[in-house]
Chains A and B, each alone.
Chain A
Amino acid sequence: MSVLGTAGAAPRRDARYEAVRARLNLHAVLPGLEDVVAGDAEMAALVAGTDLTVHFKVAGGPAAAVRFAGGRCRVWPLGAEAGDGGEAAVCGAGSGAEADRGAGNGAARDGESSDRGGRHRDGEDRADGRGGGGTVTLWFTSSAHLNRMFDGSGTPIPLRGFGKLGFMQKEFTQLSDRLAHYLKPTPELLVDPDYLAMNTRLMLTTAAFAVPILLEHDPPAAGFRRVFDGGSIALTVLPDGPSVGLVLGPQRIVAVKGEIDSPTALIRMRDVHIASAFLNGTLDTFAAVACGDVEISGQLPKVDALGLVLERVPIYLS
């Protein structure tokens, strides 16, 4: 498996492709900012005093909010497709509580679970994604426009919060550059244990949060949707994490950070080195399973299908 490390078949970069890629960038990659702020002291210091919400909105497409407050960063999908004005659910990201309601199984445990539904437990944010402090809204005319920004070649159109653009140009840019740094490993970088740990955590999270998006919007992956017909899948790096889960509801699949209770399918990687190789596509997965470096158990058809879905990720994000 490779989440970001290797390219798949070269796809045609049409509107459909750009739309899927935009969703992945907003709902699977961007949430990595949470981990970067939480786990990189330099980045935490950078946003320590910031009280600001940043909206990313694609015309007729996905939208996400990034909130900096109390020294933390939170990322969640905005409930409406930008420009639609409605309250459409965004597949693929939610809290453990939502996951529990949606699928009836595999509720996220407390402590590490992510809440990306725009309804935060501590009440620091409003349901519309606006928190206290200022709000910056960045508008993109198309998914391709947003993707160009993620590639470092596009410039968003600010619609709101002009007074905070300095933060966007300086601190936010440093933060996003650091996220990109962690997501682009080299053999030399992976020697550093701190880099290895952060890269593994981000890759694992990106993988998990990409799955619901691909199952809904990527046609080859969507062919496997019927396999994810209930139960839950846990992916864990031994001995102490990180962990992510996929709670498989009849209507929606929800990715969560942290351990989940009673998963019906389990993937456990022996240590962070195995996990890194697994997630970066440099591990012979079949051999690793046979040797016990990667343990799989439970509903194996789900594990098998998950692997095939995850192989779609680098097609969009390599």
Chain B
Amino acid sequence: METYSFAGSQALFRRAAEVIPCGIYGHFSPAPLVPPTSYPFFAVSGKGSHFTDVDGNDFIDYMCAYGPMVLGYNDPVVDEAARKQAEKGDTLMGASPLMVDLAERLVELIPFADWAFFAKNGGDMTTYATMIARAATGRSKIVAIEGGYHGVAAWMQGGGHHGVVPQDTENVVRIPWNHAAAFECVLEEQPGRIAAFISTPYQHLTFADNELPAEGYWQRIRELCDRHGVVLILDDVRAGFRLDLRGSNEYFGFRPDLACYCKAIANGYPISAMVGRGELKSEAAGVFYTGSYWFQAVPMAAALACIDELQRRDAPAYMADYGRRLTDGMKRIADAHGHDLKVTGPPQMPYLRLTDDESTMLHQRLCAECTRRGAYFTSHHNWLVSCAHTDEDLERTLAIVEEAFTVLDEEGGT
């Protein structure tokens, strides 16, 4: 099997590092890719479940641009809707009628939603949600889960990180995941001071097994929020529309007060959304919150088309089926090579690791060997599948995984 080289990526990265902090910053930084020299850094095109890097290497993408790609790159239906709107205009002097259409569509789709609001990134929405909660309650503190990620604003980053001062996080109380009793304890210790509880629908940290909510966990959190007048914020930025088109809260059987979406809403076009209960609509209106490009019509057209397509193709079920077949196949291969491959999280967004590898170095080598052969795997983050992944992709992927394990065997790594 051919193995790729990445000379073009490396050369371009050296140019980038001269003029851009980190070369490539944020979640696309090569830093967590091990070794980075086995990964592409720059992509030039995509189609369906595949993308092509600057060296001309073709990859089956199991990160889906970290989530925004859900129907496949260059999906013809979404792109046509976007193109048509682009011909009319994008950022104009006035909100687009499509904004109203999209808000109505989300209110129709998501059972608890009475209104919707749009921005660009997930972090725009999570920060807005905390502001609404504070406005509604007159309280300052936000309870979040240890390690929970809700964007890059200073309030949600941990102390000690660059650019974060203690005052940024002094109103954030962190509790363990799946520990409703800890939340109750905080509420009792700080009566009348907690504005909101914010969490992803399940625990999808990097570098760690993903954890689903325990039986009754979310229902207990809901009860406690109701009893203490706390706003329940669901950060559905990563999982939203992949587990359930009505929102991941429906998947897990609870009702939030505010929910934030982004990744899968428009198949890569830049838009994020928040929906909320009617009781919070006037408070949401009272918080001044906007951005120069938040009224772009093209992403709204794309979102409307994307949501229709997700429904038409029963996207969550398709992705779950593909994810199960992928991970089941990989587990069988791992087992045949004497390894236990642990899969956690929903099949649409599986997190994998080898349990016989405390350091994770073997898993990192496995992912790198697969990537060098055309199946783009990361070792630190949950993977994502899309509606564009095909049976042919699956067959090819499993062949790559088989060869990668064989290479590790030969190198003495297993």
Contacts and interface: CB of A to CB of B under 8 A. Distances in A.
Interface of A: 220-221, 223-224, 231, 262-266, 284, 286-287, 289-292, 295-301, 308
B359 A299 contact: yes
A297 B13 contact: no
Contacts of A297: 34-35, 359, 361, 364
B36 A290 contact: yes
Nearest to B29: A286
Given A220-B159, A223-B159, A297-B364, A290 B23 contact: yes
Contacts of A300: 32, 34, 207, 360, 380
Nearest to B380: A300
The 5 closest A-B pairs by CB, nearest first: A287-B17, A290-B30, A264-B359, A286-B22, A298-B359
Contact of B14 (A223, A286, A291): A291
A265 B359 CA distance: 7
B26 to A, nearest CB: 11
Interface of B: 10, 13-14, 17, 22-25, 29-32, 34-37, 41, 158-161, 207, 358-361, 364, 380
B10 A291 contact: yes
Contacts of A308: 160-161
B348 to A, nearest CB: 25
Contacts of B41: 290
Contacts of A295: 35
Nearest to B161: A308
B203 to A, nearest CB: 15
B358 A290 contact: no
A197 B17 CA distance: 27
A299 B360 contact: yes
Contacts of A291: 10, 13-14, 17, 36-37
A231 B161 CA distance: 23
Given A287-B22, A297-B359, A300-B207, 15 more contacts: A221-B160, A231-B359, A284-B22, A286-B17, A287-B14, A287-B17, A290-B13, A290-B23, A290-B24, A292-B36, A296-B34, A297-B34, A297-B364, A298-B360, A299-B360
Nearest to B358: A264
> Chain B contact residues: over half helix, strand or loop, or mixed?
loop
A291 B361 CA distance: 19
A298 B10 CA distance: 22
A301 B205 CA distance: 11
Given A221-B160, A231-B358, A299-B360, A287 B34 contact: no
Contact of A301 (B30, B34, B207, B364): B207
12 contacts: A286-B23, A286-B25, A290-B17, A290-B31, A291-B10, A291-B17, A295-B35, A296-B31, A297-B359, A298-B364, A300-B34, A308-B160
Contact of A289 (B25, B30, B158): B30
B105 to A, nearest CB: 39
Nearest to B30: A290
Interface centre among A296, A297, A308 (most CB of B within 10 A): A297
A297 B30 CA distance: 13
Contacts of B207: 299-301
Contacts of B161: 308
Nearest to A312: B160
Nearest to A232: B359
Contacts of B35: 292, 295, 297
B359 A286 contact: no
Contacts of A298: 359-361, 364
Contacts of A299: 207, 359-360
Nearest to B169: A223
Nearest to A222: B160
B4 to A, nearest CB: 16
Contacts of A263: 359
A298 B359 CA distance: 5
Contacts of A286: 17, 22-23, 25, 29-31
A223 B30 contact: no
A187 B361 CA distance: 36
A162 B31 CA distance: 55
Contacts of A220: 159-160
B34 A224 contact: no
A299 B364 CA distance: 10
A290 B38 CA distance: 10
Contacts of A262: 359
